[in-house]
Structure 1
Amino acid sequence: MIRTILILLGITILIAVAFGLAGDAGQASLIWFNYRIDTSAAAAVCILGFLALCAVCFWNLALWLSRSPQRAERARAETRRRQGEEVLTRGFMAVAAGDGAEARRNAAKALDLSDNVLLVRVLTAMSAEVSGDATATRAAYTAMLNVPELKLAGLKGLVQLAQSQADRAEAVKLAGEAYNQPRPAMWAFETLFEARLEAGEWSEALSLIDGALTRKLISPIFSERAKASLMAASAAALEETDETQALDYAVRAAKLQPQFTPAAIIASRLLLKTGKPGRAEDVLEAAWAAAPHPALWLAYRDLVSDETPRERARRLQGLLDRNDSHRESRILRVEQAVLGAGKADIAAAMTALEPDTADDIVTKRVCAAMARGSQGLQDLDAARTWVAQAALARSEPEWSDIDAEGRAFAYGAQDWSNLILTFAGKAVLPHPRFERGEKGLPELPELASRYVPSMPFIKAARSQPHAVPQPDDPGAFDAAITGQDLDAEEPAEALPKRKPVRRARAPKAVK
Structure 2
Amino acid sequence: MSKYLIALLVFIALLAGALLFVGDNAALIITSSAQDGLLAFPPIEMTFQAVILFGTALMVGTIALWSILLWIWRLPRRLKSGVGMRKRNRAIDAMEEALIAGAEGDIDRARKASARVRDLAGSTDLGHIISATAAEACGDSDAAVEHYSAMLDSPKTRPTAQRGLAQAKLATGDLPGAVEAAREAFDQNVQARWAFDTLFKALVADYRWTEARDVLEKGRAAKHITGDVFSRRRAVLLSAEADYWMDHGQHDKSLELAQSALKDAPDFAPAAAIAAYELTATGGQKKAASLLERAWKSAPHPAIAIAYLDLYPGESVDTQGSRLKRFIASDPEHREAELLMIDHHLRAKRPVDALSLLSPLLSEDEPTARLCLLAAQAERDLDNEADARLWTERAATAPHELDWSDLDPEGPGFAYEPQDWRRLVFSYGDTGALVHPRAERQESVRRPTPEPNTEPLRLVAPEIDADPDLAQRFDDLLDGEDEPSKD
Band of TM-score, shorter chain: 0.7 to 0.9
Q: Of the two, which has the highest radius of gyration?
A: 1
Counterpart secondary structure, 1:424: helix
Look up the match of 1:13. Answer: 13
> Is 288-297 or 301-310 further displaced after alignment?
301-310
* Structure 2 letter corresponding to 1:386: W
Look up the match of 1:354. Answer: 362
Residue 160 of structure 1, CA deviation: 6.3
Residue 230 of structure 1, CA deviation: 1.9
Look up the match of 2:330. Answer: 322
Look up the match of 2:107. Answer: 100
CA distance in 2, matches of 1:24, 1:151: 76
Look up the match of 1:140. Answer: 147
Aligned residues of 2:231 and 2:264 also touching (Cα < 8 A): yes
Within 5 Å, which residues of 2 pair with 1:223-372?
A: 223-239=230-246, 241-324=249-332, 326-336=334-344, 338=346, 346=354, 348-355=356-363, 357-359=364-366, 362-372=367-377
Look up the match of 1:38. Answer: 47
Aligned residues of 2:346 and 2:449 also touching (Cα < 8 A): no
Look up the match of 1:495. Answer: none
The structure-2 alpha-carbon separation of the partners of 1:396 and 1:383, relative to structure 1 and needing over 3 Å to count, comes to: same
Relative contact order (C-alpha < 8 Å, sep 6+): which is higher? 2
The structure-2 alpha-carbon separation of the partners of 1:445 and 1:413, relative to structure 1 and needing over 3 Å to count, comes to: closer
The structure-2 alpha-carbon separation of the partners of 1:199 and 1:90, relative to structure 1 and needing over 3 Å to count, comes to: closer
CA distance in 1, matches of 2:10, 2:449: 104
* Structure 2 letter corresponding to 1:31: I
TM normalised by structure 1 equals: 0.72
The structure-2 alpha-carbon separation of the partners of 1:246 and 1:46, relative to structure 1 and needing over 3 Å to count, comes to: same
* Structure 2 letter corresponding to 1:295: A
Counterpart secondary structure, 1:149: coil
CA distance in 2, matches of 1:375, 1:135: 64
The structure-2 alpha-carbon separation of the partners of 1:201 and 1:75, relative to structure 1 and needing over 3 Å to count, comes to: closer
Look up the match of 2:37. Answer: none
Aligned residues of 1:5 and 1:57 also touching (Cα < 8 A): no
Aligned residues of 2:91 and 2:117 also touching (Cα < 8 A): yes
Aligned residues of 2:152 and 2:162 also touching (Cα < 8 A): yes
Residue 260 of structure 1, CA deviation: 1.7
Aligned residues of 2:175 and 2:205 also touching (Cα < 8 A): no
Residue 299 of structure 1, CA deviation: 1.6
Gapped runs of 5+ residues in structure 2? 31-41, 455-485
Query: Is it true that 1:409 corresponds to 2:430 in the alignment?
Result: no
The structure-2 alpha-carbon separation of the partners of 1:48 and 1:2, relative to structure 1 and needing over 3 Å to count, comes to: farther
RMSD, matched Cα: 4.1
> Is 26-35 or 309-318 further displaced after alignment?
26-35
In the TM superposition, what whole-angstrom CA distance separates every residue of 1:373-418 from its partner, at most 9, and x where no partner exists?
Answer: 5556776554433222112213333223212211112334344334
Residue 144 of structure 1, CA deviation: 0.7
CA distance in 2, matches of 1:316, 1:408: 19
Q: Aligned residues, how many? A: 444
Gapped runs of 5+ residues in structure 1? 450-482, 484-511
CA distance in 1, matches of 2:97, 2:203: 40
* Structure 2 letter corresponding to 1:396: E
The structure-2 alpha-carbon separation of the partners of 1:148 and 1:264, relative to structure 1 and needing over 3 Å to count, comes to: same
CA distance in 2, matches of 1:141, 1:71: 37
CA distance in 1, matches of 2:429, 2:187: 23
TM normalised by structure 2 equals: 0.75
The structure-2 alpha-carbon separation of the partners of 1:444 and 1:394, relative to structure 1 and needing over 3 Å to count, comes to: farther
CA distance in 1, matches of 2:112, 2:342: 72
* Structure 1 letter corresponding to 2:47: D
| Identity rate, percent | 31
Aligned residues of 2:420 and 2:435 also touching (Cα < 8 A): no
The structure-2 alpha-carbon separation of the partners of 1:317 and 1:176, relative to structure 1 and needing over 3 Å to count, comes to: same
> Is 111-120 or 8-17 further displaced after alignment?
8-17
CA distance in 1, matches of 2:138, 2:11: 69
* Structure 1 letter corresponding to 2:394: Q
* Structure 2 letter corresponding to 1:206: R
Look up the match of 2:161. Answer: 154
Within 5 Å, which residues of 2 pair with 1:113-128?
A: 113-126=120-133
* Structure 1 letter corresponding to 2:115: A
Residue 120 of structure 1, CA deviation: 1.0
CA distance in 2, matches of 1:209, 1:258: 19
Query: Is it true that 1:82 corresponds to 2:73 in the alignment?
Result: no
CA distance in 1, matches of 2:389, 2:297: 33
In the TM superposition, what whole-angstrom CA distance separates every residue of 1:249-301 from its partner, at most 9, and x where no partner exists?
Answer: 21221221123211011122333445544443343233333333211111222
